[in-house]
Every structure is written in C-alpha cells, then in structure tokens.
Amino acid sequence: MRSGLLFKLALLLAIFGILSSGLTGYYAYSANRSMLVSGAKDDLLTLVQNINRRLAADIDEATADVLLLARLEPVERVINLPEGAEREGAKDRLAQSFAAMLALHPEYLQIRLIGAADNGLELVRLDSDHGLTKRVTGLELQEKGHFAYVFETLSLPAGQLYQSGIAVNHEQSSHDAEGRPGLMVATPLPRHDGRPGALLVVNIDLAHLLTKPLADLPAGYQLYVANRWGDFLVHPDVSQTFGFDKGRRILMQDSFPATRPLFERTRRTLELSGLDEPQQSPGRIMAFARKPFGMGTGEDFVVTGLVEPLKDVLAAAVPLGQRIVHMVLAFSLMAILLGVIFARALLRPINMLAEAASSFSSSAQPTALPVERNDEIGVLARNFDRMRLQINNHMASLYDNQRELSYLAHHDSLTGLANRSLFFQRLEQLLQQAQHEEIQFAVLFIDLDRFKEVNDRHGHACGDQILQIVAHRLLHVVRSGDMVARLGGDEYLILLQGSFTPHTLDELIGKLGSSIAEAMIVAGERLTVGASIGYSLYPRDGQTVEQLVSVADNAMYRVKAESPGRRTYSSS
Amino acid sequence: MQIRSGLMAGFICSLLAWQPLQAKDVLRVLAWPGYADVDVVQTFEKRFQVDVEVTFVDSDEMLWDKMHAQHGPQYDVVAANTAEMQRYFAAGLLKPLNPAWLPNTRHQLPRFRHWAAIPGLQQQGRLYAIPFTYSTMGIIYDKRQFATPPDSMNVLWDPRYRHKVLDFNSAQHNFSFAALASGIDHPFQLSAAQQKMLVQRLVDLRRNVLTYYSLPEEATELFIQHRIALMFGNYGTQQLNSLRLAGADVGYAIPREGVLAWLDCWAMTVAASKPQLAQQWINYMLEPEVSRLLPLRQGLADTLTASGELQATARVLWLQPVENAGQREALWQKIISGNRPGNI
C-alpha cells in the first residue's frame, strides 16, 4: 500500500514534469515557427519592394536616356528643317546615335523619333533585330499617331516624360519588340514655333527588366506582376499572362482573392502566410505591394507579388523542433527521476510514522520518529509521540490495577497471607509437577485455640490483631519457599516443600506451636492463644488437593479433641 | 449463410444509395455567365424535378474547346452566337429542335421568329437554334457634340471628328462595318476587290480615330479623358451604362446602313439523351420572367420585348462566318500597326 502511494505520487509528479516540459517545448516550437514565418513574410515584402524599386530605377535610367537622346543636336534639326538633304543628314546622324544607344542597352528594343505630322509617321527608327540593331527606313516606316504613347506624349509640355503601362507589343514588323511584353518611355519635342514637332520614344523589354530580379530570387520563389485591373503581366506560367490580349481576363484578384484591397486601393501592401491565414494562402507565404507606375494621370499602378512555399520556411524550424523533442524527452526522463526521488523523500517520514504505529504495541523499544522536523510532518510526529506516551501511561496504570485486583483475589485482606484459592492453586500446581518428577510436600492445618474466647472478650479488633500477629509469626517460622495461607476464621494452612521425616516435621510443628503460643500484647493486654496443628504428607496421605487438605484437617481435629494444646498428629 | 446475408445487405444498401441518383434526370447546360443564374436554375429544377449542371464559358474559344471534348460534347444544351452555331452544325454537334416543344417562341418579337431570315438557325429546312439574347454594335456618341444623332456609319470617317473617334480593335468587325458604310450588301462575304478598297477605307479611318480599344473599361476611360465624340460600340448598349456612370452624356444610334449584331441562341447537342428535357429548358429560357432578367441583370436585350434603341425596321446583320477570317486578320494587323497604304 505504501508502494502504491509512492507510485501514484511519483507518477503525478512525473506527469506534471512531462506536461510542463512538453507544453513549454510545444510553445517554443510554435513561437519559433511563427517568428520564422513572420520574418519570412517581412523579408518577402522587402524583396517585393526591392523588385519594385529596381523596376522603377531601371525605368528611371531609361527616362534619363530618353532625355539625353532628346538633347542631341540632330533632333532639333530633324524637327525644324524642311524636307531636304540637310534634314536627311541629321536623320542619319541621329540614327547612328540611336544605334549606339541600342547596342549599349540590350533592354531597349526600339528607339524612335516619331513626327507629329503625317499621322505620326516615324522619322528615325532603330529596332533591335535578333539582338542586332536595324535601321528601318522608307515605306517600312509606319504611322503611329493612333497609339496612346504617341498622342499622350504629344499632349505633354516640353521636357515632360510619358511612361506607358506594361503591355504586349502588337505592332507588326517591330522586329524583336513584336509580341513581347514591355513598356514605352517617351518625351515630346516641340518645334521652334511651339507646335508639336515629334516625340522620342524608347521601347523597353519587360523580360530584360525582370532578368536580374528573377535571377536574384532564391529557388522556389514565384514572381507575379499585375496591372491595375489585375491582369497578370508576369506569372510563373506564361500562358496566364496578358490574358486580355487573348480575349480572356486572368486576374490576380481571382487567383489570390486576398489581393483585392490592393486593387481597390484600400491597402498598399499585403503579407499572408499559410500559418496565419491558411485559407487565403494555403501552404504558401505571399507578399504583395502596389507601386505607382507610369507618369500620366498618376492613376496607373502595378501590383508585384512573391510567393514562397511555406514548407521551405518551416524547414528551418525542423532542427530546432528535433532539439526540442530531445530536450522534452530528457526533461521528461528527469521529471520521472525527480518524481520518484521527491515521492520517496516525501513518503519516508510518513512511512516512519506508519511503522511506529504498527510496531506501537508489539515492541518495547519505541521507534524513532521525525519529531525534529519543522513542517506538518514534524507536528504530526510530535503529536503522535505524545499520544504514544499517553497511551503507554494508561497501559501501565491498567497493568497496575490488574495486578492489584489479582492480588486481592488471591490474598487475605486482613493478614496479607495467600487465601484459600491461591493456596489450592499452588497445591494443584505442585500435584501436576509431581506427575513429572518425584517430589514430596506437607500440608499443615492450623486452628487457633481459645481464639473465640479472646475475640468475644476483647472484641473483633483485638481478634484481628491476633490473627495478624499469628500470620506474621507463621511466616517467620517457615522457610521462604513455603506458603502460608489463611483459610478463614482462625484457620491457617501451610504448604511445606521438601522431604520430611516425622521427626523434623514434629520439630517444625513444635516451633510453630510455641511461636503462636508466645504471649502477645494487644491493646495493652497480654494475651495468649494456642494452636492445634494437623498435617498430611504427599504422596503418603493423598493424591488430590481435597484428600491432602481433608487428611490434615482431620488430623488437626484429632489433636484438638485429644489434647488441646500444642500436639500434632498426622493422619496415620 | 452469414456471407450471403451480408452480401444481400450490401446489395440493398447500394440499391438504396443508387436510388436518388436514378430518380432524377440531369440536364447539362453550357452557357455564358448571366444566362443561367442560380435562382433561374432552381426554379427549373423544382418544376421539372431534375438536376441541372451549369458550366460557364467566357470566350468563343473556350466554348469551342468544351464542345470538342475527347468523347464529344458533355452537355445537353449550349448557348452560342449564330456564327458559332453554323460552325457547330457543320461539325455535326447539334440536334434538330422540334418547334412544337417550344411554345414560348410565340412570345418572341417577329424579327426573331423569322427563322429563315437569320442565318444559322435553320439548316436544311430544320430548326437547330432558337434566339435568346442579342447585342447590336451601334454608334455611341456624345450628345453634347451632336445636335442630332448620327445616322450613318460614315460619320466615323468625318474629318470634323478627327482624333475624336474610338474604334474597336477587331479585324472581322472593322471590315464588316466598313463594308456596310461603303454600301456593300454582303459585308461577311467580301470579294478581293472589295477587300482592297476597304483596306484604304480602314487606313483612312485609322487616321481619323484617336485610337482603338479592346475592353469596355478602356473605352469609357478614353471617352471621358479625350472628350471623344463618337465610337463604334462593340459591346453595344452594355457599354452605355458604364459610360453614363463615368459622367458621359451618351446616345446610341443605329446607322441607316444597318448594324452588326451578335445573336446568342440556345441549341441542343448531339449528346442530349433527353431531347424533351433539353427543349423544355430552351422553352423555359424564353419565358418572360426568365428572359427579362437579361436587360435587368446583364444590360443585354432579350428577344421578347421591343428595344428602344433598335427599331423594328432597322436593318440588323447578324454575325456570320466571314469569307476568310485569316486574311482579314493579316490585313488588319498591318493596318493597326500603322503601315501606309503602299505597304499593305
């Protein structure tokens, strides 16, 4: 039962330990995961914003180039001079400069000077053609007045810049630019008279702009870019881009419903993770940022987004998770050990108390108790010790009372001699003993003579004193191993052990008789009583208590009848 | 014995489970968004105690792909325009309809009951498609710039509105409406000479327009930003709402030369296993309560009620397959890219 309690307590402590270490471990693990994910979300957003900034920086660079080209000397001549050799010469020089710029910048697909006159007829046009520069001339030059980048740019004041949205170029025979997504950067070039003269436009390849950001992206990252209506411009699956071009809208807000607020302009950035928003971003971490784009109305923007698999981020949490598992296991083991140790330490004093209680009555030597402790167990031990002391005291007085009662039951209250019952018991014992070994003993029956007279004359108190004195004298005469008993009234019995000859017995009886017959001073008076003494011998006179006492009694009566005085006879 | 009773129980269970599937017929509908809204479908399901499965498409190409699935069309009824219907008939994908099972056609406007007059509805004397909804491609104009509504297609070429005109970027429609404007009777079947003449007309138009649009939102934005006077309304009356919402005071004109229009019809595919149910669906689509949802919810015209924009006498040219779509496309690409007449 004690081991049961030990087991339970140890189990309880161990469970507490395991639970607390397990919960701490789990909390640490999930906190680590959410920290990792939150960090990854922020990193992703930073990356997205970097891509946006990089795009903007690249476009800024292009606009700087446009302004640089616009300031070239031949530009002004082409715009203002009438048709003629001089103007053609300026066009040729301009074409050389355009070619140089085109060769320098692989991201530029076309550099053109487009006139405001003749429905936006191209004046100087350099195309990138399979990576080489190609000048387009003559009838090949096209009228571009109906394209937004032309009429929008021409409507701008001098020195301003136009930037188109990102679109697939559908202008036929534009060489490398044809069919490719890109954007235009342009600036208006007024004539001397202030009328619109021309515009200088550079066609930028989107794929080239994205080459560097895409190359810098870690594996597994997916880049998405959408225009302000949500149409994908960049998508890992190219067939999902420029859907509107194929008569089918494929929108970012349909593929990623969470991005809707970006298009409604209620938010600028968005971060989602499969850990925090499992429904909106299952198994992924996503970051999106809206970036103003173009220079027209200020209405245009793009939304750039990066998506990263959640498991890639969470993979970093795995080693820590494993460590935590090991730690939790180690702590659990420790908790079990500590549980056992604590349970044992806690139960030792209780066991001591229990042992003390169980050995309380059986052992004379009191068991040691942890009374010196200051805690509740110490109090319990001290109380138990006190209780043990009290019970011991009670028990001792009980034993005393018992002994007294037993004494009273076997002794004569007046003389303190053994009473008839004790005498007969002793006699019985001897008889039993005699069955096993050869022993002899004698039973003497003494009856006082003239006691009745003395009693009648001097009163009971006097009689009692005489009986006491006689008892005392009898005890004085017999040996210490012999037994003297008062049978009642003035009759005494003596049990003498040992072997006797009639002679030695007579001598002893004589001594007894004369000792009794000696005068005694009782209540100031000198009194004498005599005694008639009969005896019986074992085994000669009987085999039972009754026989032996009866033989001695009869002998006493014969003495009393024949010679009152100090004569003794045996039965024979 | 135990195995046999177990088998029996399993058999009964499977019978019970099979029961509801067996009990209801399923009608498979292939349609455009807005043609079979949930409430419309539920009413039909309740009335005829069937299940209806609706699949939506959002382009003619997608529709074509669905109709040409590996094992034939997986649909009982399909909604497509008259030009597409002719292609589907030619591909042997349609089943003829029984006019007796389509009593609601009597509610339709006379224009839509003259089946013979609408190419694509009848083939070899049998009815294959029933008109359901349509949209004309009229002229949208700014009422503030026009005292009286323009009445001719040629207004698009009017130099007074130079760079105040918007056109839709489409090879087929541009050739067709330019043909109409030039008085050609069969704008869907052009001769080589007509085509050549129209190229010049379209280059002229290019020089007169501000630009071309593809999406209705784009058109609205350009219209407002550049104070456009008029445009070819490819999306018809559907475009008016968004323009008015954006603040434009616009009108809609049907030119006297005639107007191009698409007409979506319902037809039954060869895969329809329950022709009666399929035609009950088509008939149900022509109930006034169902058809009137088209103008209410989609801004489209239904075939039952007369439209304010389209007079009964107006000449409507329902879209048809053109003589050579590829060639029109190739020419158009040159035109829109800015090629000069000598280089087309």
Distance, in Å, from the CA atom of A341 to the CA atom of B13, rounded to the nearest integer, reads 61
Which chain B residues have a beta carbon less than 8 Å from that of A141? 340
Is A169:A203 a contact under the CB 8 Å cutoff? Answer: yes
Mean pLDDT for A65-83 is 94
**What is the structure's pLDDT at A211?**
84
Q: A492 near A478, Cβ under 8 Å?
A: no
- Degrees, nearest 5: CA angle A209-A212-A214: 95
Please determine, for residue A365, whether its predicted confidence score (pLDDT) is greater than 80: no
pLDDT of amino acid A361: 64
Give the gap in angstroms from C-alpha A205 to the nearest C-alpha of chain B.
Answer: 18
Which of B211, B333, B340 lies at the smallest CB-CB distance from A143? B340
Smallest Cβ–Cβ distance between A148 and the set B211, B217, B336 belongs to B211
Structural domains of chain B, with CATH: 2-134+261-307 (3.40.190.10), 139-253+320-343 (3.40.190.10)
pLDDT digit string (tens) for A414-437? 888 999 889 999 999 989 988 888
Interface residue B148 vs chain A (CB under 8 A):
no
* Beta carbons of A143 and B338 less than 8 Å apart: yes
pLDDT of residue A222: 92
CA distance B59 to chain A (A): 7
Selected residue with higher pLDDT from A219 and A116: A116
Query: 3-class DSSP state for residue A527?
Result: strand
ipTM of the complex: 0.83
Higher pLDDT, B97 or A194: B97
B247/A contact by beta carbon, under 8 A? no
Residue A248: list chain B partners with CB under 8 A: 58-59, 61-62
Length of chain B measured in residues:
344
> What CA–CA distances, in Å, run from B182 to B151, B175, B194, B273, B319?
14, 10, 9, 48, 18
Residue identified by tokens 């003498």 is A496
Asked if A267 and A261 touch (Cβ cutoff 8 Å), the reply is yes
DSSP string, B252-289: EE--TT-EEEEEEEEEEETT-S-HHHHHHHHHHHTSHH
Distance from CA of A75 to the nearest CA of B (A): 23
Confidence of residue A364 (pLDDT cuts 50, 70, 90): low
B127 at A interface, C-beta within 8 A: no
Q: What is the CA radius of gyration of chain B?
A: 24
Residue of B nearest to A147 (CA): B211
Question: How far is it, in rounded angstroms, from Cα A108 to Cα A483?
Answer: 145
Q: Indicate the residue of A144, A148, A229 with minimum beta-carbon distance to B338.
A: A144
Contacts of A140 in chain B (CB under 8 A): 343
What is the distance between the alpha carbons of residues B309 and B311, in angstroms, rounded to a whole number?
A: 6
For the record, the structure tokens of B195 come out as 């085509």
Q: Which residues of A touch B210 (CB under 8 A)?
A: 146, 151
Cα B283 from chain centroid (whole Å): 19
- Helix A420-436 crosses helix A376-410 at what angle (to 10 degrees)? 90
**Does A147 contact B338 at a Cβ distance shorter than 8 Å?**
yes
Side chain identity, residue A400: D
pLDDT of residue A295: 65
Tokens of A102: 């085109």
Query: What DSSP designation does A418 have?
Result: B
State whether residue B344 sits within 8 Å of chain A by CB. Answer: no
Residues of chain B below pLDDT 70: 1-23
| Model pLDDT, residue B201 | 97
| Token couple for A507 | 């001598």
Mean pLDDT taken over chain A = 88
Active-site choice (A176, A447, A490, A541) = A490
pLDDT at A225 (0 to 100) = 92
Number of A:B CB contacts under 8 A? 63
Q: What is the rounded average pLDDT of the residues A73-84?
A: 93
pLDDT over 60 at A91, yes or no: yes
| Residue numbers of B between 304 and 333 with CB closer than 8 Å to A | 333
Q: How far apart are CA A525 and CA B292, in angstroms?
A: 157
* Contact between residue A306 and residue A234 where contact means Cβ atoms under 8 Å apart: no
Answer whether B343 sits within 8 Å of A146, measured CB to CB: no
Lowest pLDDT segment from A81-95, A243-257, B156-170, B320-334: A243-257
Q: Is B306 helix (H, G, I), strand (E, B) or coil?
A: coil
- In chain A, whose CA is at the least distance from the CA of B210? A146
- Which chain B residues have a beta carbon less than 8 Å from that of A110? none
**Cross-strand partners of A132:** A129
Cβ-proximal residues to A38 (8 Å cutoff; 6+ apart), any chain: A273
Quote the Cα angle for B99-B61-B315, to 5°. 55
Q: Do A172 and B339 touch (CB under 8 A)?
A: yes
3-state helix, strand, coil in chain A (%, to 5): 50, 20, 25
Q: Does A490 qualify as catalytic in the annotation? A: yes
Separation between Cα atoms, residue A341 and residue A347, nearest integer Å: 10
What pLDDT score does A567 carry?
44
Q: What pLDDT is recorded for position B190?
A: 96
Chain A: nearest CA to B61, how far in angstroms?
9
Read off the pLDDT of residues B324-334 as tens digits, 9 standing for 90 and up.
989 999 999 99
Residue A64 has pLDDT above 60, yes or no: yes
